[in-house]
Structure 1
């Protein structure tokens, strides 16, 4: 089994299923496909049915889209409890994951995932206030119910889906409650996340489209190293 991923520093969608594979000790290989540079789009289209990452390859089967990959893994490895075992919690976890997949668009666009960076004060708080409020409400209610440290007690696919949001809160030092800050710490403490982060910090590549200084016009494209 192999998963095709984008640059670890930036590719939030790649991080999600990779965490599931790594945390739940599912044997796999990964391969990084560039998200910038000469001919990167064409190279990606040759390897991915959607022209995007991630893609899970299992024999002759190629599964695209993060949610679909996670569901495939949950069915293939039912003993791993990738989703919570309790039916009600499982429904809530899938609901939260689906909301993440479809929502939080302002936070995602205004504060792109960038694990190497520290950019306090560079995000318009008024613009992301609605998404931050929903993070507080959703995470707060689930953590209160479960007792933490993760949304449903033990780490699950729902946490994998929200892990990139946790990184955004840290990279841009966005204002959150102590409860949410504690959850961010729990994500960063996860051994699987630490493994991904260590590799991301070693990457030399820069993707201008995900660098806030380029997005906001403070730095010209192609000048960051």
Structure 2
């Protein structure tokens, strides 16, 4: 089984199924497909049916799209409890994952994931205030039900879906409650996340489209080292 991923420092959608594979000790290998540089779009289109990452390869089967990959893994390894065992909790976990998949567009647009960086004060809080309020409410409700440290007690696919959002809160030091901050710390303490982050910090590549100083016009594209 192989997972095709993008640059670890930036690729939020790649991080999610990678965490599931790593945390639940499912044997796999990964391959990074560059998200910048000469010919990167053509190379991606040649390897991925959607010209996007991630893509899971399992024998002859090619599965694109993060949630589809996670569901395939859950079906393939039912002993791993990738989703909560309880039916009601599982429904809530899938609802939360679907909301993350389709929502929080302001945070995703204005605060791109960047695990190597620290950019306090660079995000217009008015632009992301509604998303911050919603994530506080959602996390607070679920953590109140489960008592933490993860949304449904033990780490699950729902937490994998929200892990990139947790990194945005830290990278840009966005104002959140103690409850939300504790959840961010729990994500960063997860061994699987630590393994991903360690590899991200070693990457030399820069993707200008995901660098806030380029996005906001502080530096010119192609000038970050």
Normalized against structure 1, the TM-score is what?
A: 1.00
Instruction: Name the counterpart of 1:129.
Output: 129
CA deviation string 1:112-132 (max 9, x = no partner): 000000000000000100000
CA deviation string 1:105-154 (max 9, x = no partner): 01001000000000000000001000000010000000000000000000
Deviation at 1:8, TM superposition (A): 0.1
Length, aligned pairs only: 225
Deviation at 1:40, TM superposition (A): 0.1
Gaps in structure 1 of 5+ consecutive residues:
none
Instruction: Name the counterpart of 1:90.
Output: 90
Secondary structure of the equivalent of 1:92?
A: helix
Secondary structure of the equivalent of 2:164?
A: helix
Deviation at 1:200, TM superposition (A): 0.1
CA deviation string 1:59-86 (max 9, x = no partner): 0000000000000000000000000000
Instruction: Name the counterpart of 2:145.
Output: 145
The separation in 1 between residues aligned to 2:109 and 2:115, in whole angstroms, is 15
Instruction: Name the counterpart of 2:16.
Output: 16
The separation in 2 between residues aligned to 1:29 and 1:136, in whole angstroms, is 35
- The RMSD of aligned alpha carbons is 0.2
Normalized against structure 2, the TM-score is what?
A: 1.00
Gaps in structure 2 of 5+ consecutive residues:
none
Instruction: Name the counterpart of 2:42.
Output: 42
Secondary structure of the equivalent of 1:63?
A: strand
Instruction: Name the counterpart of 2:6.
Output: 6
CA deviation string 1:43-63 (max 9, x = no partner): 000000000000000000000
The separation in 1 between residues aligned to 2:141 and 2:101, in whole angstroms, is 19
Deviation at 1:88, TM superposition (A): 0.3
The separation in 2 between residues aligned to 1:43 and 1:69, in whole angstroms, is 21
